[in-house]
Every structure is written in structure tokens, then in C-alpha cells.
Amino acid sequence: MRLTTVGTGTAAPHPSRVGAAHLVHADRVVLLLDCGAGATHRMAALGLDWSHITHVAVTHFHPDHVADLVMLIMGWRWGQLPARSAPVTVYGPVGMGAFLERLAAVYGAWLLAPGFPLTVRELTTQDVITLPDGVELSMLPVPHTTESVAYSVVHGRTRLVYTGDTGYDDALGDWAAGCDLLLAECSLPDALAIREHLTPRQVGALAARANAQRLVLTHFYPPVETIDIVAEVAERYAGPVVLATDGWSIEF
């Protein structure tokens, strides 16, 4: 499995971080986790093959996680030659279908009928979706917005868990238990803590509860970058920690 952190930023405009987007390669599966503002052009700038993404999974409907989904579908329809013909499935929490229908009412019916097969599927906690080559996708509700979810991606004996946006949650730590890579938001310092996001100490506690083999942090608001994130995480988590940047990549 290969992970590329396409966008590691937030709603705060940042000179080097665009909205949340993370690309996972697992054999024939090319899965985009979230598609926040600026993600499509960032993929092009990084030389990533956005045109052959096979699946998209959205964690929630805030624009720093989903604003560029329209741009991506538009790029598949009009931004490549030859035009796309391969099918795409967009996964999301309950409400994903209605969300895209509202966007189509603004941008046009082409959004849901872009000239290639586009399937929208809403996931529940009971669903374990089998993608090509045995890749498994599942989700867990997390405390952020009413629809927010985390995702698990399993390929063979390798597991990635992506928190999306979340506050601290024991249930999330238990669900992520033993994962090879925990891709977690790390939004705010303790001084600005709110229940809808994680601080470095909270994400350290989450990774420790999950016994994650590796912790990769993303979704940094500018104030959290002024503190020693790694040191605060290390107060509660002893494993390796990476502060991801746009374009950072790892095979695991």
C-alpha cells in the first residue's frame, strides 16, 4: 500500500497546504480519501495521476474536505484526453447522495451524469466494501459533524485508518487497534482546544490506545505549527510520528 498526503491543510488559507486529500494506491485500487479545496491542482503539481483514480471516499461535507470534488469530476469529463470512460464510485456517509444532488442543482445535471459511470454509495457501520484485489473499505462515525466518519482501508495484512476530522473518541482508538498506519488530524494546540478537533496530546493518546504502528499527522491549523507537536504527541505515544506535508509519501 502507498499513501500520498496530497493536502494537509484546513479551512485556513496556507501558502503550502491545501485542503484535506490523501491518495492510497493498493494494486489496481487508487482511492482518494477526501477532496478538499485545491486538491485537484495539487495532484497535478505533484505529478500524481488524478485521471485514473478509481474510488473516492468522503469523510464529511465541510469544504476543506470536499470542495474540489466538483472540480475532480469536471476534470474527468473535460480536462483529459481521451475523455474518461472508466467507472468511478464515490463513497460517503449517509447524506452523500443528497449532498451531490444539491451540488448538481447548482452546477448542472452533468455532475451526476458526467459521461462515464458514476456511482454514489452511502456507507453505514455494517458495511465492509470489497474493492478490486481484495481491498476492504469500512467506516466508523466520529465526533465532528453529525455525518462525520473515519475510514479503514485493508489490503492483505496491511491496514490504514484515516480519522478525517474528529474529536477524541475511545471508540475510534479501539476500532483502529493494531493498524499499521494511523493518518490522524492534528488541528489545534491545547490553548485553542475544542471538542470537534484533536490536539497533539489527544492524538498521542488516540494512537497509544490504538497501538498504531506508525502515526502520520495532517490537518494543521497554523497555530498548532508554532508548538513542538512531536514532543507533545510523545508524552502519550511512543511510536514513530510524521508531520505530513503536501506531497509526502510512504509505502508500508
165 included as an active-site residue: no
Nearest residue to 120 (alpha-carbon basis) of 139, 101, 136, 97? 97
- Distance set, CA 46 to CA 9, 65, 66, 244 (Å): 16, 19, 19, 15
Q: Which residues contact 126 (CB under 8 A, 6 or more apart)?
A: none
Give yes or no for a contact between 42 and 52, defined as CB atoms under 8 angstroms apart.
Answer: no
Q: Which residue of the set 27, 34, 49, 64 is catalytic?
A: 64
**Side chain identity, residue 61:** F
Q: Which helix (H) or strand (E) holds 162?
A: strand 158-162
Q: Which residues are catalytic, by number?
A: 64
